[in-house]
Structure 1
Amino acid sequence: MMQFWNALPHMEVYGNPQYFFYLLLAVLPIFIGLFFKKRFPIYEALFSLSFIILMLTGKGQLQLKSLLAYVIWETILVFSYKVYRRNHNNKWLFYLWCLLSVLPLAFVKVAPIIAANQSLFGFLGISYLTFRAVGMIIEMRDGVLTEFTLWQFLRFLMFLPTFSSGPIDRFKRFNDDYENIPERDELLDMLEKSIWYLMLGFLYKFIIAYFFGQVLLPPLKELALAHGGIINLPTIGVMYAFGLDLFFDFAGYTLFALAVSNLMGIKSPINFNKPFISHDLKEFWNRWHMSLSFWFRDFVFMRLVKVLVKNKVFKNRNTTSSVAYLVNMLLMGFWHGVTWYYIAYGLFHGIGLIINDAWLRKKKKINKERKAAGKPNLPENRFTRALSIVITFNVVMVSFLLFSGFLDQLWFPKHPQ
């Protein structure tokens, strides 16, 4: 049996033409079935499971064992809370269930710091599966989600196209899509979009991201490390090359997920909406990694504001929102990893959003005073809008330099012993 598992090929998710060939060939019967208003749930389950197994194989079966343990753990938590929530609604038990649901992910993030190596219990996609499971527990607490079967839960949790990279979906939206098969005209429109997503995804990931990430970035890093110091000109090049590589690689990856989702009759939420034309940081987070941003907004930021207001922790509502921004973005930083640069990235955006809100309030006040004095509002034209886009873009790029971890190499070089 061990020889069988070790003999399985490892398939890099959306990584090469061979993967796409097998994936599109396997998804074709699903799309044809949808065209005739039929779903093949057993085939869909085998399709998803087969590709998940192949993407997690490699050096042994550790990731597969971790996935199995994780799915059992989250299934117990979700369904035990479902039973509990029918007649009870204690907030502390709700917090406990959420904490227990996040625990495997937290362990994966913290274990490398403790053990100085990769966590034994991690697997590709654990972050996105955790968002789905925790989201279901929160929506049960809110009364939005009441009834679902084990099959529906596993189908949502293990949905292949978005398994490893998102977008982060919500159960109710996903399940409605699954159970309401689109009409033929809509399916043809979804097919057209899938082709477009695939073509754009190939351009983003395999051409543009390759240029920035494989051609430009390595020599720029070498130059920057050779120059040393706190900051240098090649480091500025690293900042832009990494930021653009990050966007085009991740956006391309997401486009592939959307394309395959469409072919399975599911309209997964888009993740990027021209983030680099944002006029301020708040708009940026409404355009960048949108499913993650909206998840944190709905399930962390808004709830924290509600708790702070309800308990009258701060008298000033602006202080309340500022604290919520800071906590929200710090948690997002910790989600990426327990290292100083991820935490600094979260702190950077938390402070940035606080400053952003303060400026918008100040601008509103100034315009009000100018209006009372019979003066025109502060200028708002093509030049000022273009300037705000340029400023926001560069602020975001600075945050990406933090996020990249390159400053850790530049500032704290590890010399061979």
Structure 2
Amino acid sequence: MIPYGDFTYFYICLALMLPVIILGLVGKRSLVYNRVITLVMLILIFSDENKNLYDNKFLSYQFIFFALYICYQVVLIRVYISIAKKTNQFKNYAFAIVLSILPLIIVKILQSSWLGDFQITVHGNKLIEFIVFLGISYIAFKSVQLIMEIRDNRIKSINTMKLIDFITFFPTISSGPIDRYKRFIKDEEKIPEPNVYYGMLIKAIHMVFMGFLYKYIIAYYINENVIKVTPIDTDPTFLNYLYYMYGYSFYLFFDFAGYSLFAIAFSYLFGIQTPINFNKPFKAKNIKEFWNRWHMSLSFWFRDCIYMRFVFWVSKEKLLKDKLLISNLGFLINFFIMGIWHGIEIHYILYGLYHAFLFIAYGYFEQWRKKHPPKLNYKLMNVIAILITFHSVAFGFLLFSGKLIH
């Protein structure tokens, strides 16, 4: 069952969460019941009649791999925090990071089309179909972030059950938003007052309706009337590419922003104020502002966990003196990793490098603009900047789609 993929998911989810809502409205919460709901929803999400275990409809191989993966990450984090208390050595930290992302790396390699016909099969199915499950990336992101915060002494102790609550929080399990452990636990431990919860409930209802508008009306319309009907494969003309580029860009936004609204809304029903993921990204006036508005939780994760740490490390070790060069190398590494995270395919890698190029180019443009302030009207400059940024980003989405490079 795909999260927020059909009305059945919403019916089941809302039925199970009705006691949560009632308790919230009277200023109470049951963590035990919340965990029961989570378990039920995770079993349903990972159920697959084609890959079930012992002909059990609700016990699939994917759920088994998911459960083992959670155990693996929890044990890894618990072991690392116990080691870090005794000796916070870099080699232990690096080893823990590698172990945390290793399953994701293996999955990405197995998913790659570069393997060609080399595929391991189990019961007539490819092994990758068993071990890949929704949310494997986002669980890895949470785990890596936790290990880094333990290394930085921002987190000194972790309760195992709360750690499991954080990693397996089902409203955001498949595609985020990526929350922070301390922020999540703060919400979980503090029960909202009835009037506060009522306000969260109203916001959640509003977000659900907006999510339906975005994902099931606007995104569906664009997909059916633009993406599916544009003959870009059979008639690859400039106008068809342009038409597809606009359609695909807006489809990605409304589809993913709609999903994010659902995830945040159901988080609110639990009393967890998961951070927003989109903030009018197509109004951005430059590429940096765009990534501060688009898929914000992922963008900030990459910024904090890769770019900033690379820049800090190079500066601390005095490997380079040129700050702009250090920053540019940071952008290259950051977006290259972001590209291969989407998949080890040429169009994803080029998509990542393209955005690195945009960041680097904008850095040099900022330096030039300080010496050559614009003479045009301020409002007109903003409009021009928004148009340039949008088309730069939209071309990147066309690259991301794989239609530009087959």
- Residue 262 of structure 1, CA deviation: 0.4
Q: Distance in 2 between matches of 1:338 and 1:207?
A: 32
Paired-residue identity, %: 39
Q: Structure 1's 310 and 215: CA in aligned 2 closer, same or farther, altered over 3 A?
A: same
Within 5 Å, which residues of 2 pair with 1:244-263? 244-263=250-269
Task: Please give the alpha-carbon distance, in whole angstroms, between the structure 2 residues aligned to 1:219 and 1:118.
Answer: 34
User: C-alpha distance in 1, partners of 2:377/2:195?
Assistant: 43
1:337 aligns to what? 343
CA distance in 1 between counterparts of 2:142 and 2:369 reads 39
Matches within 5 A, 1:43-192: 43-58=33-48, 59-60=50-51, 61-113=60-112, 114=115, 115=118, 119=128, 120-192=130-202
Letter in structure 2 aligned against 1:391? I
Cα distance in 2 between the residues matched to 1:309 and 1:78: 28
Q: Is the 8 A contact 2:111 2:343 kept in 1?
A: no
1:7-406 aligned within 5 A: 11-58=1-48, 59-60=50-51, 61-113=60-112, 114=115, 115=118, 119=128, 120-220=130-230, 223-228=231-236, 232-367=238-373, 378-406=375-403
Q: CA offset at residue 118 of structure 1?
A: 6.7
Amino acid at match of 2:160: L
User: In the alignment, is the contact (CA less than 8 A) between 2:73 and 2:100 conserved in 1?
Assistant: yes
Q: Secondary structure at the residue paired with 1:389?
A: helix
The residue identity in structure 2 corresponding to 1:187 is: Y
Partner of 1:415: none
* Matched-pair contact (CA < 8 Å) for 2:62–2:133: yes
TM-score, normalised by the number of residues in structure 1: 0.90
Consecutive unaligned residues in structure 2, runs of 5 or more: 52-59, 120-125
Deviation at 1:37, TM superposition (A): 2.9
Residue 407 (1) aligns with residue 404 (2): yes
Superposed displacement of residue 366, structure 1: 2.6
Distance in 2 separating the partners of 1:49 and 1:325: 39
What amino acid does structure 2 have at the position aligned with 1:349? Answer: H
Q: CA contact under 8 A between 1:224 and 1:234: conserved in structure 2? A: yes
Kindly provide the amino acid, as one letter, of the partner of residue 82 in structure 2. V
Q: Separation in 2 of the partners of 1:311 and 1:298? A: 19
Rounded to whole Å, the distance in 2 between the matches of 1:330 and 1:47 is 38
CA deviations over 1:51-77 (Å, ceiling 9, x no partner) = 111111112222112102211211111
Letter in structure 2 aligned against 1:330: F
Match for 1:100: what amino acid? L
Q: Is the 8 A contact 2:25 2:195 kept in 1?
A: no
Indicate conservation of the 8 Å contact 1:224/1:233, yes or no: no
Provide the rounded CA distance (Å) in 1 between the counterparts of 2:245 and 2:182: 39
Q: Distance in 1 between matches of 2:380 and 2:159?
A: 55
Separation in 2, partners of 1:54, 1:269: 25
Q: CA deviation at 1:147?
A: 1.3
Amino acid at match of 1:31: I
- What amino acid is the match of 1:249? D
In the TM superposition, residue 22 of structure 1 has moved relative to its aligned partner by 1.5
Q: Which amino acid aligns with 2:109?
A: V
Cα 1:118–1:349 shift into 2, 3 Å: farther
What is the aligned residue count?
A: 386
Q: 20-29 or 391-400, which moves further after superposition?
A: 20-29
Q: Distance in 2 between matches of 1:195 and 1:86?
A: 44
Give the letter aligned to residue 102 of structure 2.
L
Aligned partners of 1:68, 1:189: CA distance in 2, in Å? 35
Provide the secondary structure at the position in 1 that maps to 2:19: helix
Q: Once structures 1 and 2 are overlaid, which stretch shifts more, 301-310 or 357-366?
A: 357-366
The separation in 1 between residues aligned to 2:110 and 2:315, in whole angstroms, is 35
**1:146 Cα deviation (Å)?**
1.1
Query: Structure 2: how far apart are the matches of 1:62 and 1:213?
Result: 32
Q: Is the 8 A contact 2:286 2:385 kept in 1?
A: yes
